[in-house]
Chains A and B, each alone.
Chain A
Amino acid sequence: MKDISLGQFYPARSPMHRLDPRTKILMTVVYIVMAIGFTSSFVSFGVLALIVLLGVLFSRIPIGKVLKSVRAIIFLVVFSFIFTLFFYSAKENDTLLVHWWKINIYLEGIYTATKLMLRLFLLVMGPTLLTLTTTPVDLTDGLESLLKPLKLIKFPVHELTIIMSIALRFIPSLSEETEKIINAQKARGADFDSGNIFKKAKALLPVLIPLFVSAFRRADELADAMDSRCYRGAKGRTKMKVLKLRFADFVAFFLLLAFFFVILLLKYNWFGIAFIEAFI
């Protein structure tokens, strides 16, 4: 049960952990843009993998922990790999490798499917690095700071982020509560593991109902506690931990931009550098 927490923060002391959450969020956004929009050749995928690898090295997180994150999407990845492989629409000059019944497998199809697979894996690993090195509280703090400009158009940034941080704050509590209720019902002979899917869903009722009751109770209590401490939203509210950019933040961000430049170069090759041509 303890594994389901969304805030899968991995406590360690490292340069990555010390980076400003805003820097890390922005870097993640840039990374995602790169991974979705601009990586096309195997070499640029290599660059992306290098970025992840550097991130892992600078965060002192066991690489297994990061690789574990892709386990959740492995089914999706395998499925889309096979799908792309079999339904690849061939162009002229494509090399036909296997021809059997109605199935045609092309070399280019294998390339495309492999690239898709790499893209999905790398897409998950980057943001995982963010959540592994940033506490949920820092994450919402950073988000609030980044979304500040939206206040100009009357977007309730503070309210949104406080909702987010409360939700994140209560994930461990509710998961603990769930575990307690499951144990209590198990102690009364409840069986959550056997039977078909309908039976299993029905077996969850004795857990879900008390859980909802307790979530509402907690919400009421929290609202009372906030009220009694005169909480009234963003107006005039100061922060206990003020975010501050440091030199390392700029270094990290510009390093990433440099990688971005390399990837763009690999895709468009504006200067017509000859040896890049070979990679495209």
Chain B
Amino acid sequence: MPIIAEHLNYIYSPKTPYEKKALEDVTFTINDGDFFGIIGKTGSGKSTLISHFNGLIKLTDGVLKVDEFDLGKKYDYKKLRSRVGMVFQYPEYQLFDETVAKDVGFGPRNLGLSAEETALRVKEAINLVGLNYDDVAERSPFELSGGQMRRVALAGVIAMRPKILVLDEPTAGLDPRGKKEILNLILRIKESCPTIIIISHNMDEVASYCNRIAVMGAGKLQGVFTPDELFGSAELIHKYGLELPTVSEAAYRLKEAGIDIKGNPMTEDMLVKAIDEAMKERKK
């Protein structure tokens, strides 16, 4: 079951001098199995929007349905929050427990699961994020490296076995290699958690990983596109003031230089293939 939002509005501190419209008439649908990207400038309402998905921000105006939960009515918070996993920016800053295993087990324990079930899930989650359980389980999370801490934080959310995972800039502050590792990790998570929603400022990421991209601006949803539609259209890119993904940029430049690149390649592999074909074409 998907996420359906209709005419969402949200205002921060209403009726004060600090009043701020954060969301205005936002309507869209996220389907099961989507790798859904949300892009937009700082303050465009992205974080406010995703905080609605698991009820951290109470729905005040509009319709929002997440799986079988109707967020306009009464619902079981804990159930919803185990269904919708939420990884915030710099999640490593939320670690608190004595050991990695205990920290990862925080979510499952809150769900009221048995000790055995919790231990099982903790082990599974730590392994899934690419850490060695026997190595890290009994260590303090504060001894780990930044990248490892982020993985532990991610494991803490995975251990609740969500069906929808929302990530707010999961690669912020990482080096290119760390970014790639985290993104590939997310792809691995997608096998057991089919719907992924990701906020990102990095156009390379959204172009090569997402199948649909929502563009937010000034609290309004500007539109939902496939990467192809969005980054293949000079008009849209100009209209929303977006940066081009490196791959699209390279493709544009090559086209300008007279090399006939077909279509809009979105990943490095696709670009290499397109260049290869173009060169073969030339030789003929």
Contacts and interface: CB of A to CB of B under 8 A. Distances in A.
Interface of A: 2, 10-12, 177, 180-181, 183-191, 205-207, 209-210, 213-214
Contacts of B88: 180, 183-184, 187
A206 B142 contact: no
B171 interface: no
Nearest to A188: B107
Contact of A206 (B17, B54, B81, B106): B106
A214 B56 CA distance: 22
Contacts of A184: 86, 88, 91, 94
Contact of B13 (A2, A181, A205): A2
Contacts of B85: 187
A77 to B, nearest CB: 26
Given A205-B96, A210-B96, A189 B81 contact: yes
B111 interface: yes
Given A183-B56, A188-B160, A191-B110, 15 more contacts: A2-B18, A177-B93, A180-B88, A183-B51, A183-B88, A187-B54, A187-B86, A190-B106, A190-B110, A191-B78, A206-B97, A207-B96, A209-B96, A213-B142, A214-B93
Nearest to B84: A187
B82 interface: yes
Given A183-B51, A183-B88, A184-B88, A189 B93 contact: no
Interface string B83-102: 00110100101111100000
Contacts of B81: 186-189
Nearest to B56: A183
Contacts of B156: 188
B271 interface: no
A191 B95 CA distance: 17
B157 interface: yes
Contacts of A190: 106, 110
15 contacts: A12-B17, A180-B93, A184-B91, A186-B56, A187-B56, A187-B85, A187-B157, A188-B160, A189-B107, A191-B110, A206-B96, A206-B106, A207-B96, A210-B94, A210-B95
Nearest to B54: A187
A188 B110 contact: yes
B56 A188 contact: no
B98 to A, nearest CB: 10
- For chain B, the bracket of interface size reads 20 to 34
Q: Looking at A12, A184, A213, which has the most chain B CB atoms within 10 Å of its CB? A: A184
B111 A189 contact: yes
Contacts of B110: 188-191
Interface in B235-277: none
Nearest to A190: B110
B17 A185 contact: no
A60 to B, nearest CB: 11
- Nearest 10 pairs of A and B residues by beta carbon: A189-B110, A187-B86, A209-B96, A188-B107, A184-B94, A206-B96, A183-B56, A184-B88, A210-B96, A189-B78
Contacts of A191: 78, 110
Nearest to A206: B96
Contacts of B86: 184, 187
Q: Looking at B13, B94, B110, which has the most chain A CB atoms within 10 Å of its CB? A: B94
A188 B111 CA distance: 9
A177 B51 CA distance: 16
A138 to B, nearest CB: 18
Interface string B1-20: 00000000000010001100
A11 B16 CA distance: 10
Contacts of B56: 183, 186-187
A210 B97 CA distance: 9
A180 B157 CA distance: 15
A189 B159 CA distance: 12
Contacts of A210: 93-96
Contacts of A180: 88, 93
Contacts of A187: 54, 56, 81, 85-86, 88, 157
A209 B106 CA distance: 14
Interface string B61-83: 00000000000000000100110
Nearest to B91: A184
